[in-house]
Amino acid sequence: MRLPMIILLVLTIWKAGNGSRANELKADGKVLELDESNFDSAISSFDYILVDFYAPWCGHCKRLSPQLDEAAPVLAGLNEPIVLAKVNADKFTRLASKHDIDGYPTLKFFMHGVPMEYNGPRKADLLVQYLKKFVAPDVSILSSDSAINDFVEAAGTFFPIYIGFGLNETVISNLAVKYKKKAWFSVAKDFSDDAMVLYDFDKVPSLVALHPSYKQQSVFYGPFEGWVRLLSHFKCL
């Protein structure tokens, strides 16, 4: 009779430990603390997760921490949640080495388990705006002048913006998927003459390319096989 009781006790402890770990990995708007025991689980549990590899003594890390705390609940509340997490890379050196961390803080963004270096802004509101790009639709469908303006404003100044006026979304969908990490793509279905004046085009279909950070704007009337040349011009490739 003693053996089953021991087994029951072990199973109870194991379940309690797993339950605790599951609670740690909830996207509840807090910055998760990761270590060598739960890092891989976190990466596989969340489609989108930004990880801050930090050192406790690092001044830049200390300044970044409250920005992440502020951004975390906003990003967790998106339709496609983005989780923020951090790793004490000074303590968990094997984990830091595995991910090629050689300076602090280093931010890495994991999309469906695939890492990329995060080189965007680190102030909370700008970090949120930047990361929203990666969970946005491949092609946004815009149905009014106000929707166009809202799209451009939400896109910010970090990435090139492409708006196809009167353009079928299938024309750009493949490129939108390919360059999702590098540019915003949209198709405007309904718009006024005022929009044509604002974006400086006089016929449809037309493609307007904006790069706010360079203050560049171009209009492209086709043939749309020239997309690659246009994207290259705006440093999107």
Structural domain boundaries enclosing 197: 137-233
Query: Residue 24: which H helix or E strand, with range?
Result: helix 2-24
Residues annotated as catalytic (active site), given as ranges = 58, 61
Same domain, 56 and 148: no
Burial 101-136 (b: 16+ CB within 10 A, else e): beebbbbbbbeeeeeeebebbbebebbbbbbbbbbb
Same domain, 154 and 113: no
Same domain, 90 and 123: yes
Q: Is the pLDDT of residue 116 over 80?
A: yes
- Mean pLDDT, rounded, of the chain: 87
Same domain, 21 and 88: yes
Same domain, 112 and 144: no
Q: What is the pLDDT of residue 225?
A: 63
Same domain, 28 and 121: yes
What DSSP string describes 41-78? HHHHH-SEEEEEEE-TT-HHHHHHHHHHHHHHHHHHTS
Could you give the CA distance from residue 174 to residue 24 in angstroms, rounded to a whole number?
Answer: 38
Could you give the CA distance from residue 195 to residue 216 in angstroms, rounded to a whole number?
Answer: 17
- 27 or 38, higher pLDDT: 38
Q: What's the number of domains the chain is made of?
A: 2
pLDDT digits (tens, 9 = 90+) for 29-69: 999 999 999 999 999 999 999 999 999 999 999 999 999 99
Residue 202's CATH number: 3.40.30.10
- 68 or 17, higher pLDDT: 68
pTM, rounded to two decimals: 0.81
Same domain, 49 and 115: yes
